[in-house]
Each structure stands twice: as structure tokens, then as C-alpha cells.
Amino acid sequence: MSLSKKLLAESFGTFWLVFGGTGSAVLAAGVPDVGIGFLGVAFAFGLTVLTMVYAVGPISGGHFNPAVSFGLWAGGRFSGKDLVPYIIVQVIGAIVASGVLYLIASGNVDFKLSDGFAANGYGEHSPGGYTLMSALIVETVLTFMFIFIIMGATDKLAPIGFAGLAIGLALTLIHLISIPVTNTSVNPARSTGPALIVGGWALTQLWMFWVAPIVGGVIGGITYKLLFKNKD
């Protein structure tokens, strides 16, 4: 498969993840009487990944996340020469998704960017008021676990055809744990799209949602490789 097709698939996949996940938070989570709440948003993120892993995963590997690309590279599953192109198109997909979502959401007279636009944050911008330290820990640990699960689910000894299900459910669980802490990132591209729309505080805090997921992803990839390196 050509690199251009892989990059296009990554862009589409990341678009769907950000549009579906943050879209559920912005458009559906707070609608009176029918709001889907944290549980619904968590499942929305999981479903976006699950569906795109099967739709375009065979083309690009289904990363949709710079932290995943870094983690798979650290774990020896992804070529370093493709790392930067993958990250660029992932961020582009996330930005386009956030722009489209903004156009839709702004059609409602009650819509306000000050409500957060599903941007990730800590301190006063954490849904539960959690500190920077709490945010750093949860984003690092959960991304570590996410990459570890991805490495295991896609291992050659894993049952064939079930990786998407395991990865999607893992992302759902991750959101159930951490939405109250940071609105859940574990994905720098997902954080970047909404932050560029919101500006201000979201851009100021964006660094953390690049550093923690990438660190956690790299540690996860290395850990899986070291623990199970004799299987290859």
C-alpha cells in the first residue's frame, strides 16, 4: 500500500474519531432530557475507533493518534520514517473535524465556546477540578495501558479479527475513567483540534496533552516489547 493511501486513511480515521467523539460531547451530552452524559461520550469515542479500525485499519494500521504512532514505533511495530507524516495528517484530520463540528454547533443559538467545546483541560478547566499533577498521571498511565492493549491485541498470537473490538472497548473504558479528570485525551491530535477552536486557556494547556500521551505511549510500546520480545 502506498504511503499516500495510508496517510489519507489516517486522516479519515482521525477525522471520524474527533468528529464522532467530541461531537457527541458537544452536541448530545448536554441536550435536555436526552443527554447521553459521560457514559454516552465514552462509548462514542470507543465506537469511532472500533469502526475505523475495521474500515481503514487494513490500509494504514489504524493509529488515528500521534501517541499510538509513537508507541508502535517504540515497540518496533512502526517505521520511524513514516512517523512525522502520520502525525501531520492525524492533526489535520482532527482540525478539520473540529472545524466542521464548530460550524454545526454554532447553528444553535445557545452554543457558547465558553462551555469548553470538549477541549481537554486541568485545574479550573478539568470537569472535576483535578490538578495538573492528576492530569499528567492519568493521561500518562492510561495512554501506557492503551498502547499495551493495542500491542497485545494486534500481536501475531492474538485471535484474528478481534483487535478492533478490544481497542474500541479499551478506549471506552479509558474515557469512563478519565473524563472527569481531563475530558480524556490520550491523543494529542484529538486535543489539538478543539484547542485551536477554543483558543486561550485550551492552547495554553495543550502542551500537557502532547507530552503525557506521547510519554505514556512510548513507555507502553517499550514495555510490551521487552516483556514479550521472545515471542517474535
Give the structural domain span for 72. 3-231
| pLDDT at 160 (0 to 100) | 86
Give residue 157's pLDDT.
86
Question: What value does the mean pLDDT of the chain take?
Answer: 94
User: If pLDDT is split at 50, 70 and 90, which confidence band does 98 have?
Assistant: very high
Mean pLDDT of 14-33: 87
Residue 68: alpha-carbon gap to chain centroid: 9
Q: What is the CATH number of the domain that holds 20?
A: 1.20.1080.10
Question: 77 falls in which pLDDT band (50, 70, 90)?
Answer: very high
101-135, pLDDT tens digit by residue? 999 999 999 898 988 899 999 999 999 999 999 99
User: In total, how many domains does the chain have?
Assistant: 1
Grid coordinates standing for 136? 499528567
Distance CA 72, CA 52 (A): 18
Higher-pLDDT residue of 187, 37 = 187
The C-alpha atoms of residue 143 and residue 216 are separated, in whole angstroms, by 5
CA angle 137-143-147, nearest 5°? Answer: 150
Identify the band that residue 182 occupies on the pLDDT scale cut at 50, 70 and 90.
very high
228 against 130, higher pLDDT: 130
The three-point CA angle 50-128-98 to 5° equals: 45
